[in-house]
Each structure stands twice: as structure tokens, then as C-alpha cells.
């Protein structure tokens, strides 16, 4: 297997393990208009629709990849590139809200300097609130670039932001 093919395969494996992608597919797969609804959920949770997710959806839904990109490029709402290096999605669905997600949103905003729905000036962080990402048992939840953090408290936020700063310092 080529290095490139290995890279795609490992990204697809990672995509299959992403709770937000898997939850969106489970929720909408058998319904009409499922593709657009799933793309909306991915856009909401990630801030954009990554290529490996589009390939995964093509396979899971049996929809040609070209048709997925037709939809992605037709609607201005969808983004193909991340709005920040790290897209922080804080779930404000009911279960997370009841367990204190609002305090997490404020803490993420304070730690990164990004307002909700906006990116930092250096485009390192983008902060957004999303609806239920399908893992209420872990509430309150935040997802950063597809990595899920559960049962969060405000003091955890500082560590997460630090972790991602370090990550980008090592792999700019």
C-alpha cells in the first residue's frame, strides 16, 4: 500500500471513530435528505467539512463523492477549510447545558481570546457552540478538531487550550 493510500485509510479509520460523524450518520442515514442534514451536523460540529469526512460519507451513504462536493460548493454555508487551526465546538445541547456548558463557553473564550462564532486574530482558534453531538453520557462535552473531551469542568479548559497550543508549536 502506498504511503498516500495508507494516509487516506488511517484518516478514514479515524473518521469512523469520530463520535460526531458516526452520530450524524446513525441519526440521518435512513431519512430523506440525509446527506444535507449530515453535512449540516458536520459543519456545525467541526466548523467545516473535511475531505476525509466527505469520502467516508460517500462510502457510508453510497453517494458519489462528486455529488457531495456539488452540495458542499452550492451552499455558501458549508466551508471546505477550517476557520481556525483548532475549531473548538462546545456542545450546548440540553444535557450539556444542564451540566454547565455555558461556563465552558466563557472559559474557552477567555483562554483563547476568541468570541463565540469567531476566530482569534492569528487564526489559531475558532470557537463555536453546537447542538447535541450525540454523546450526552459524557456531558458537558467539547470537541476540538474531532477530538472529544467529556465531563469537562472550567479548570479543564486551560489544559485543553494549552495542549493545542503545544501541538501547534510542535507541528505549526
Residues 144/86, Cβ–Cβ less than 8 Å: yes
Does position 124 interact with ligand FES (CB under 6 A)? The reply is: no
Q: Which of 111-116's residues contact partners 24+ apart within 8 Å by CB, and which partners? A: 111/157, 111/158, 111/161, 112/88, 112/161, 114/84, 114/88
Is residue 10 part of the contact set for ligand FES (CB under 6 A)?
no
Give min distance, CB of 59 to ligand FES, in A.
25
Q: Quick one: 72 or 128, whose CB is closer to ligand FES?
A: 128
Q: Does residue 96 bind ligand FES (CB under 6 A)?
A: yes
Nearer to ligand FES, 41 or 111 (CB): 41
Residue 23 as a binder of ligand FES (CB under 6 A): the answer is no
Q: How far is the CB of 97 from ligand FES (least distance, A)?
A: 7
Choices 28-36, 116-124, 134-142, 151-159; region in contact with ligand FES by CB under 6 A:
134-142
The sign of the CA dihedral 108, 109, 112, 118 is: positive
First to last CA, the chain: 28
- Classify residue 147 by its DSSP letter: E
Q: Which is nearer to ligand FES, 78 or 97 (CB)?
A: 97
Maximal CA-CA distance, the chain:
48
Mention every residue, 6+ apart, whose C-beta is less than 8 A from residue 36. 71
**Is position 94 an interface residue for ligand FES (rule: CB under 6 A)?**
yes
Residues in the interface with ligand FES (CB under 6 A) total: 11
If one asks whether residue 135 binds ligand FES (CB under 6 A), the answer comes out as yes
Q: Residue 132 interacts with ligand FES (CB under 6 A)?
A: yes
The rounded distance, in Å, linking the Cα atoms of 46 and 48 is 5
Which residues contact ligand FES by CB under 6 A?
91, 93-96, 132-133, 135-136, 139, 141
Amino acid at each position: 500500500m502506498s504511503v498516500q493510500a495508507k494516509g487516506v485509510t488511517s484518516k478514514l479509520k479515524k473518521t469512523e471513530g469520530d463520535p460526531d460523524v458516526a452520530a450524524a450518520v446513525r441519526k440521518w442515514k435512513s431519512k430523506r435528505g440525509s446527506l444535507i442534514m449530515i453535512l449540516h451536523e458536520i459543519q456545525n460540529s467541526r466548523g467545516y467539512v473535511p475531505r476525509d469526512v466527505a469520502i467516508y460519507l460517500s462510502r457510508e451513504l453510497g453517494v458519489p463523492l462528486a455529488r457531495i462536493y456539488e452540495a458542499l460548493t452550492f451552499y455558501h454555508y458549508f466551508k471546505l477549510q477550517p476557520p481556525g487551526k483548532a475549531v473548538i465546538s462546545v456542545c450546548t445541547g440540553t444535557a450539556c447545558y444542564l451540566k454547565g456548558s455555558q461556563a465552558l463557553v466563557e472559559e474557552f473564550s477567555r483562554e483563547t481570546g476568541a468570541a463565540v462564532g469567531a476566530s482569534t486574530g492569528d487564526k489559531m482558534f475558532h470557537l463555536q457552540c453546537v447542538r447535541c453531538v450525540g454523546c450526552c453520557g459524557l456531558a458537558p462535552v467539547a470537541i476540538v478538531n474531532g477530538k472529544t473531551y467529556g465531563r469537562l469542568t472550567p479548570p479543564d479548559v486551560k489544559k485543553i487550550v494549552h495542549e493545542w497550543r503545544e501541538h501547534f508549536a510542535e507541528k505549526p
